[in-house]
Structure 1
Amino acid sequence: MKFLKSHLLEKVPMKIDTSKLESELTRLGLEVDSIEKLKNKSDVLFDLDLTPNRGDCFSVLGIARELAAASNKKIKKENNTLKASKLSPKSKVKISAKTACPKYSFIEIYNLDNTKKLPNFIKDRLEAGGINPINPVVDILNYVMLDLGQPMHAFDLNKIGKHINVRFAKSKEKIQLLDESSKILNDKCLVISDEKESLAFAGVMGGIKSSVSEATDSVFIESAFFVPDIIRGKARNFNIQTDSSQRFERGVDYNLQSLALIKATNLIKKYLSGTYSTLSTVENKSNLPHQNLIDLNLNHLNNKLGFEIKLTKLKKFFDALEFKIESNKKNFLKIKIPSHRFDLEIEEDLVEEIARLEGYDNIPTINLKTSSSVFSNSVYLQTLNLKKYIANQGFQEVINYSFVNKKSLQDLDISKELIQLKNPLNENLEVMRTSLLPGLLKTLKSNLSRGESFMKIFEEGKVFTKSSRVREQNMLSGLIYDQDKKKNWSSKKQFSFFDLKKFAVDLLTYLSAKEVKFQESKNAFLHPNISLDVLNNGKLIGSFGRIHPKINKSIGLKKNFFYYEFITDELNFKDNYKISETSKYPSVQRDLSFVIPGKTKFDNLDKLARKLAGPNLVDLKLFDLYESSEIKNQGSSFAFNFTWQSKFKTLEDKDIDVTVKSIVEGFKDKFNATLRS
């Protein structure tokens, strides 16, 4: 929101230097983005960065209200009356879309001179607000919008029919707008039409056929209240952004329409001459918003503020903000909110308003009372520690939008159960992500295009799906791309599946996972023969492996890379530590190497080996997997290292020999294995 300092101080007569005004506005929550001193003019241009909920401050009047309330000043009163007219409007207005447009005010002005020049102050204020002058009638309407916050539109009275209708567009209805673009509307778009065709895309932009030009001598001016939900997102969907849509999307005061028309009509009469009809309004009061009534508990207020505020001071604040106290009973106030403050709905909103006017810097400082309470580790801290661990393994964290392009999900065949956004940031971010993979792939491709050949990245965040209900799930995903041999001058080996498995095992060990098992992965993102699913107590908690070739193809990348994903909430294992006495007896180790024909899963070998090794087994490792031309026809060689240790005695060779014999016989019976010498 841009405006001139002189324009604001015309509303609130006071002396205040620019730097103090900047500080005061920022203190009130109207953050000053920039200040520019205008050349050849003794004036200053302010640019405010307003939050979406403060639609009332998209006008100089709204900003003036805030400044006046904080400075204990009064807003200068203006002439809000219109001399009575005996002329009835020639046009008849009907509202078919009553819920979308509960109120529509209009007036007709005849025999005006649209070639006259307007005074410089209007031109200067429009240019300061970033609005280009067009012609006197349109400029006056834009000036009133900048001044009061009510967008209006003028139609050339000689170019429109006699029956105006506010309705929803027909499916695939066409309209050519003022910017000369043609749009095909849908049945969710609101339009202003006459008997023949649509005249304007309501709340967004007028049509070119009924537009006002310098030759125009009679106009029909509308000033309407459109429900924000109906206008919101429409401009963006059609790649349009206007000052009108920006205000209607955030909300316009539903009691402002006639006031804006009166001001615009008086200015047109003053500077362009002409006569006007009576001001008419068509409204459906049952569909208009209601002024909120909010109960305020004074004890609650004082507890929230941290100090006691006197009722007299409170009433002073409420008067300044145009809040009305409807009742006052035993520390309970009922407050009626003005129509322009549609952002206030609950008691906490009132507490914030009072704190804002009091000034956060003026709230007394109170020393905190410390406590020796022990707090349990929160999910947030657990996730933070998890991310720190992964970062310490050489991964870099990336953060992507939760909004993604629909095509990126379709390319990966994960577009089912997606959630479509009603009001996307832009046309390329129209759905919620169902996986973290698209964002990681985008980051990978972006870095590869800049010459990177080694990447280890991860992301932790929410994914969203919708079947019978909306479901949010926290996921942890990572990606490893290595075409630079692990970025290590001493290594000639690229990152492999076994490196990834070691990372997964180490991660789960760090998290104190106990009952974890691996099995062949069914994850559609991963190569079916080079991937594993991770299960905890039989429940799937994650997957890892080489990326599936179809994904390489879909993103146009020939080189292989690796991917893992875990359900974050399933990684919060409880630390069930057990303390046991260390054995004072020595351990015994034996290495056994088996040649096993055919293809056998290591998991099956591991299970049998542990079962046959007995209760004194403390460690089992596969230290070699070997294939050569000598044994290729026989199968593969698996070399195991067994470690036994008893807590009660020294194990003798004869004890171990019996166990080893059992293992050899078991492997021979189960896998037809032979012991290598």
Structure 2
Amino acid sequence: MQFPESWLRSFCNPPLSTQALADTLTMGGFEVESLRPVAPPFTRIVVGEIRQAQQHPNADRLRVCQVDAGQGALLNIVCGAPNARVGIKVPCALVGAELPPGEDGKPFVIKVGKLRGVESQGMLCSARELGLSDDHGGLLELAAGLPVGQDLRAALQLDDTVFELKLTPNLGHALSVYGVARELAALTGAPLQTPAIAPVPASMAELLPVTVSAPDLCGRFSGRVIRHVDTRAATPAWMVDRLARCGQRSVTALVDISNYVMFEYGRPSHIFDLDKIHGGLDVRWGRKGEQLKLLNGNTVELDESVGVIADAQAVESLAGIMGGDATAVSDDTQSIYVEAAFWWPDAVAGRSRRYNFATDAGHRFERGVDPSLTVAHIERITQLIIDICGTPQTQCGPIDDQQPKLPAPAPVTLRVARAAKVIGMPLTQAQCANVMRRLGLAFVEGEGTVTVAPPAYRFDLRIEEDLIEEVARIIGYQQLPETAPLAPIVPRTRSESRRSAFDVRHALADLGYLETINFSFVDEAWERDLAGNADPVRLLNPIASQMNVMRSSLLGSLLDVLKHNVDRRASRLRVFEVGRVFLRDASVTTTDHSVRGVNQPLRVAGLIHGPAQRQGWGGVERPADFYDAKGDVQALLAPRPARFERAEHPALHPGRCASVAVDGQLIGHVGELHPRWRQAWGLSHAPVLFELDLQAVLQRPMPVLAALPRQLPVERDLAVVVAEGVTHEQLQQCVRGAAVGARLLDVTLFDIYRPKPGTETAAGMAAGEKSMALRLVLDDAEGQSLTDERIDAAVGAVLAALQAQLGARLRA
């Protein structure tokens, strides 16, 4: 919100400089984001009146003007503006005047000069030359009532400052100049000037029939008929200037009056063309299938969740947000209906965003607008309409005021002891009562308490903490004592058996991965296709239509990063992300770090795409495959051994996907992207992905001290014939479970042999069999030497276990 300082000081004028005033507002909770002068610096520019304007003798586009600038004699000034004519008042830069600095940063100084042989004793200025606007179509025409020779800065109040406030959503009562002034009076103790709004007597009895069918939409509806107005009347310059300094351009007199009162008192209103209303008005909820063409030209589809104002034939306005085009006032309008209503904040909040636009009216109504002053503000608007657009025939009807359901805020009690504890400084009941008195709040004192009845304009006063905040900011945050914390500071030492998430990030970076950070809200199609999640956690107010659910997997985010880079011709990519996923879980309760019904575990995921290694002098590039990602997962989990078993995952290839388990617990999956999704994402070849539970990855077993063996270990190779369906994991489990009578240090598969079809018999094998060669590494737990007898017995025990459990036989 922005406004000129002069308008604020017309309501409350404390003896503070501009900067001190801004600091006071900021420390009071109304952050002043910027201070901007209304006009750049310039000097010796006065109000001038053109008395004569003749064609230049030597130039078709120049005129020689005789200008009265209050200097006693007329000034001879050559001007090329198309609107330079007799009788208008314009800015006149005298000789020696300094205009605003140009692109070089230096001011432009006016001197006596000659243009095409005619002497020019000054310069007539446009708005752009003075830095007031970008308009350079002609001279800036001033109001006819300004005195000739008056300094332009004083005539147009250019020594003013525009305040721009950054207000939090709970400060709806400060979305007006008067609202800010009311808070400034409470902060400084300066008197608040509240202009009396005199009622405009009715000169006719006409009323427009209005029915409020939805009290849960509209709590109060006030309106008045005004006939015979001049809608072509010009908006006064003072109103145009104030609106411009609030960031609002002038439209027409009626629209400007409505906007002016909104910025003045914070109440949006709407003016209908009375002759375009069919029958009466009905304030109700919309209906499915209804449409409305708005003032901005958009046509919107309505439903039962949107409030409207309708007449007997169609919908005419979007309640609390924007009027309709059908009943908009125009230059031909003669009779109007002025409306001011109280719309419930919950009935307006979020509706304009649904249609991808925002309005000043909706911004205010969804935060709460004072319902007690609808009639007074209609009186204010009526008086301005009569003053600016009135004619001798103008007539006003009585105000129709309907109050179906007004808010009734409950009293809020402040405990003085509680306030002192929360704020952290000694407080007395008298101090708290004085704060409420300065804010203009009605209150009753009890024993150690102050009970406040929130006024109609304060929708933010609902609980005790709200009053505590008022006490703190009015007393002044700068008054809080600086005290050292009393709680002992005990450093939290992480167990050595657990590493940090940064250690995991560094480990992946060492493996050649780059970290990505992505949104936690994703496209619902990703959840359905890549995570098999038919019921994701939905967002009530998504920032974009394609980001409407919370992710339950990190894979979609990594694929999106891959697609972005592949589209930019990246040939090799290794990326990872550490982040939260969001899963529905009825067992989760609400705590300081959790939300009821939603489990939020941390996961780590990675993606490999393109060659396994960058191309070297050898010229051979091997594409990355499942085993590259598997090796990275093993390195990430080391020294804990991981177990990989064939599995299925919605996002991964059914024959190239494995589950990852550590200590018998499933912690994730690794595999190649499913061909269906590779084609859908437009990828030339499939990437390999993995996703693991971060808590399991963070576990790190402590090393155990052991004496170095005194004897070298013994290696024995063993080739067995097994059925084609026997897996490496089954072989490992069988060998490690055998009672070998020695310590088995390692089992490695180093060869798999399958004879060509038709040669099985020659190889001593049958169809459907394969040979798997193992290398056993043995030693003695006590450090003794292993004899041949013990080694042969160990190998025999392994063979016996393989034969008994897997039907294996020693290969001939």
- TM-score, L = length of structure 2: 0.75
> 1:407 offset after TM fit, Å?
4.5
Q: Provide the rounded CA distance (Å) in 2 between the counterparts of 1:591 and 1:208.
A: 91
Pick from 185, 191, 196 the counterpart of residue 302 of structure 2.
185
Equivalent pair of 1:269/1:275 in contact (CA under 8 Å): no
Q: Provide the rounded CA distance (Å) in 1 between the counterparts of 2:225 and 2:682.
A: 62
Any idea what the Cα deviations from partners look like across 1:137-179, whole Å, max 9, x if unmatched? 1111111112222211111111103321111112111222112
Pick from 21, 46, 53 the counterpart of residue 163 of structure 2.
46
> 1:46 offset after TM fit, Å?
2.9
Q: Provide the rounded CA distance (Å) in 2 between the counterparts of 1:643 and 1:221.
A: 97
> 1:200 offset after TM fit, Å?
0.7
Matched, 1:552 2:552: no
Pick from 641, 653, 659 the counterpart of residue 533 of structure 1.
659
Amino-acid identity (%): 27
Equivalent residue, structure 1, for 2:395:
275
Equivalent residue, structure 2, for 1:75:
192
Matched, 1:365 2:365: no
Q: Provide the rounded CA distance (Å) in 1 between the counterparts of 2:372 and 2:614.
A: 67
Amino acid at match of 2:397: S
Partner of 2:316, secondary structure, is strand
Matched, 1:594 2:719: yes
Amino acid at match of 1:544: V
Equivalent residue, structure 1, for 2:27:
27
Q: Return closer, same or farther for 1:624/1:419 CA change in 2, 3 Å cut-off.
A: same
Q: Which moved more, 1:170-179 or 1:497-506?
A: 497-506
Partner of 2:218, secondary structure, is coil
Matched, 1:458 2:458: no
Any idea what the Cα deviations from partners look like across 1:567-597, whole Å, max 9, x if unmatched? 4456665x78696654765462324343545
Any idea what the Cα deviations from partners look like across 1:237-257, whole Å, max 9, x if unmatched? 222322222222333233343
Q: Provide the rounded CA distance (Å) in 1 between the counterparts of 2:674 and 2:731.
A: 27
Q: Provide the rounded CA distance (Å) in 2 between the counterparts of 1:321 and 1:645.
A: 86
Equivalent residue, structure 1, for 2:631:
502
Equivalent residue, structure 2, for 1:660:
795
Partner of 1:367, secondary structure, is coil
Q: Return closer, same or farther for 1:276/1:302 CA change in 2, 3 Å cut-off.
A: same
Q: Provide the rounded CA distance (Å) in 2 between the counterparts of 1:442 and 1:324.
A: 57
Pick from 562, 566, 569 the counterpart of residue 692 of structure 2.
566
Q: Provide the rounded CA distance (Å) in 1 between the counterparts of 2:463 and 2:247.
A: 35
Any idea what the Cα deviations from partners look like across 1:177-205, whole Å, max 9, x if unmatched? 11222222112111101111111111222
Q: Return closer, same or farther for 1:375/1:446 CA change in 2, 3 Å cut-off.
A: same
Q: Provide the rounded CA distance (Å) in 2 between the counterparts of 1:627 and 1:257.
A: 91
Q: Return closer, same or farther for 1:407/1:233 CA change in 2, 3 Å cut-off.
A: farther
Q: Provide the rounded CA distance (Å) in 2 between the counterparts of 1:186 and 1:258.
A: 30
Equivalent residue, structure 1, for 2:603:
476
Aligned pairs for 1:572-587 within 5 A: 582=707, 586=711
Matched, 1:443 2:568: no
Q: Provide the rounded CA distance (Å) in 2 between the counterparts of 1:464 and 1:552.
A: 25
Partner of 2:446, secondary structure, is strand
Pick from 413, 417, 422 the counterpart of residue 535 of structure 2.
417
Matched, 1:105 2:222: yes
Partner of 2:581, secondary structure, is strand
Q: Provide the rounded CA distance (Å) in 2 between the counterparts of 1:541 and 1:427.
A: 32
Q: Provide the rounded CA distance (Å) in 2 between the counterparts of 1:569 and 1:336.
A: 51
Partner of 1:215, secondary structure, is coil
Q: Return closer, same or farther for 1:372/1:128 CA change in 2, 3 Å cut-off.
A: closer
Q: Provide the rounded CA distance (Å) in 2 between the counterparts of 1:153 and 1:422.
A: 30
CA RMSD, Structure 1 to Structure 2 (Å):
3.3
> 1:607 offset after TM fit, Å?
0.6
Amino acid at match of 2:400: S
Equivalent pair of 1:109/1:275 in contact (CA under 8 Å): yes
Pick from 515, 529, 540 the counterpart of residue 397 of structure 1.
515
Q: Provide the rounded CA distance (Å) in 1 between the counterparts of 2:737 and 2:427.
A: 74
Equivalent residue, structure 2, for 1:334:
451
Q: Provide the rounded CA distance (Å) in 1 between the counterparts of 2:3 and 2:778.
A: 80
Q: Provide the rounded CA distance (Å) in 2 between the counterparts of 1:208 and 1:467.
A: 49
Q: Provide the rounded CA distance (Å) in 1 between the counterparts of 2:346 and 2:622.
A: 58
Equivalent residue, structure 1, for 2:12:
12
Matched, 1:115 2:232: yes
Equivalent pair of 1:191/1:200 in contact (CA under 8 Å): yes
Matched, 1:248 2:365: yes
Equivalent pair of 2:2/2:164 in contact (CA under 8 Å): yes
Equivalent pair of 1:113/1:272 in contact (CA under 8 Å): yes
Equivalent residue, structure 2, for 1:221:
338
- TM-score, L = length of structure 1: 0.89
Aligned pairs for 1:602-613 within 5 A: 602-612=728-738
Equivalent pair of 2:603/2:691 in contact (CA under 8 Å): yes
Q: Return closer, same or farther for 1:372/1:101 CA change in 2, 3 Å cut-off.
A: closer
Any idea what the Cα deviations from partners look like across 1:99-141, whole Å, max 9, x if unmatched? 1212212222222222222222321232233333221111111
Any idea what the Cα deviations from partners look like across 1:516-550, whole Å, max 9, x if unmatched? 64322222111222222234666543222222222
Partner of 2:14, secondary structure, is coil
Q: Return closer, same or farther for 1:478/1:203 CA change in 2, 3 Å cut-off.
A: same
Equivalent residue, structure 2, for 1:325:
443
Question: How many residues are matched?
Answer: 669
Pick from 127, 132, 135 the counterpart of residue 249 of structure 2.
132
Name whichever structure is richer in helix by fraction. 1
Amino acid at match of 1:439: S
Partner of 1:620, secondary structure, is strand
> 1:646 offset after TM fit, Å?
0.9
Q: Return closer, same or farther for 1:416/1:117 CA change in 2, 3 Å cut-off.
A: same
Any idea what the Cα deviations from partners look like across 1:339-365, whole Å, max 9, x if unmatched? 333233332333333333344343211
Partner of 1:612, secondary structure, is coil
Any idea what the Cα deviations from partners look like across 1:283-342, whole Å, max 9, x if unmatched? 223xx433242222222222222221233333332223333332321x233233333332
Equivalent pair of 1:38/1:44 in contact (CA under 8 Å): yes
Equivalent pair of 1:419/1:466 in contact (CA under 8 Å): no
Q: Return closer, same or farther for 1:194/1:637 CA change in 2, 3 Å cut-off.
A: same
Amino acid at match of 1:609: V
Amino acid at match of 1:459: V
Equivalent residue, structure 1, for 2:347:
230
Partner of 2:401, secondary structure, is strand
> 1:77 offset after TM fit, Å?
1.0
Matched, 1:168 2:285: yes
Equivalent pair of 1:168/1:187 in contact (CA under 8 Å): yes
Partner of 1:250, secondary structure, is coil
Q: Provide the rounded CA distance (Å) in 1 between the counterparts of 2:17 and 2:776.
A: 82
Pick from 523, 548, 571 the counterpart of residue 430 of structure 1.
548
Q: Provide the rounded CA distance (Å) in 1 between the counterparts of 2:197 and 2:696.
A: 64
Q: Return closer, same or farther for 1:505/1:253 CA change in 2, 3 Å cut-off.
A: farther
